[in-house]
A and B are shown apart, each in its own frame.
Chain A
């Protein structure tokens, strides 16, 4: 048994109770100190740093509202749509819980996209935070799976046909595709079997994985300390500390950032509740109009689009037409040539590169563009995992990068938004061209980053953070 901390019998009752717990569960108290009251975070967090806390808040909102929805929802193809209307009309306050959950789903993606963008801007994915970033990308993947499966549950026309289309994408994989799609669906078409397993994944499996990943994400972050908008390491070997050893550029997370986050949360809640109470459909983006029609396996709606948060990737999928394949083959060829001519790798590696490039080009010529669309769509998410090893800039934060880098990031945002918008629209000739260009830019931004991130004159990075007293 560990040494118990003594406390005077005259101490106040509250202190004695605290002492009782601390003697028996010191982990909790240590955790509070390590992660809250003695976790020193940089003083100069700005607006972009609220989105991490907001992501956690929205996760909690989704779980709590989800728990209450499951009390009334029926995961049966014949009853699901009706059970959602039952929640909206017959369950006291059911409509509010439903809207919180549907708005929360979209809010989750808004908040997570902005959170990721912060990481992109300030180099939060760079050493020593690569693993924090990787956990984050895994969370993003799980979130997409969670949202996709959750969307099937209302069993509306969009739910059904969206799921049908996406599961059919898996059938595009050579050799194993059709069997894989059959395995996922549990039937020849999306049906009750699919609904039940998606329900299980959405309610239990993926949330548990998400929670585990979020914990890992936060613990890994706290192990190495938070980044900041200046990209200056406040706990580095040369960082100044006070007499107690605390970083001079840092402040304890609690109470300074707990109080700061309370403010941020209040502002978020204003926007969140404004949407819930005044525009829960949000122009058909958060609750799609077609989804108010019960699923009909015999009738496809005129225009299927995935929910807005998937549309950037959907655009990329649609952009890979047989014409686009030639552009992609050219890119692979260029990449292969670059690897052979420009790098200083041993001959064996260069031979391997040549062989690989030729093999890939052969596959691209023989396998359908449909399959490569899936590859590109998946690749667009997977490439994020590699970001820490693609960025060769000597400087972390965009603040000290050459000015033209800011334009690169701005164009990246514009491209992402345009791809998202095009994904919502029905296909068109112009849309196709624009999404093809956008897809090339998106991948070029990442794949060519080892080159472009080194171009230009960086500004001198300060030794201390830029903090202006409030």
Chain B
């Protein structure tokens, strides 16, 4: 599948943003977050910037962005429509939470309830994003039980990395939070490796035989219907060289998981000043790694239409 920059940025940014928003909402409700103006502004500001810029980017690949409002109408059948509605609904409790925490300076009562609702909205929205991909039967690498949990796990992982970094900067982050963030990154790494292992062993996928109905014997494509690349090949037939794929997987793992884990280890044992620096550094490094992971999520996914062109 064609790795569109707008969709890669959208899924990565909103994942991290909703992860952070959910943690802020739950953290406030659990009484972990004080009514601290700068913390509230930074935390919610960052979460909303990531979410809103991601949602705006997602409209960039539309043929008619000015009609995007129509996408809210088919929630009964379409995961994309449900995602749009969930994203908009999540803004309501988020706005209430922001007013309570930033302007009124309180995190109890209805503000805490709004925080919990914002967290719920964030989880639902990320789930809808995951289901858009998980529901697509023609793409074998996406139509698996791994896709929905992957979106939730990576949203939680990047959200925790951000949450930890912000709290450490304001000197409000306990030592155990670093350990929790490190565990989330370790879990994300293990999950991604399990997904790759699953993808490499997929069986019972459609073949050119079942695609053409020519059962029995070997079927091979000898002539395409057109000489140049058409929409189908540009959009669904994106191919990535095997050697680049292997190298990019290594780079993604180093940036998204290995380096952040090393930085978390430094943060646990280093002086306070170095610990804060290490925690802040985990954010850009992990997000860069996740952008590569998301690029691979698209580039390595194969669509059944390529069978007709004799491609795997």
Q: Do A and B bind each other?
A: no
Q: Chain A interface (Cβ within 8 Å of chain B)?
A: none
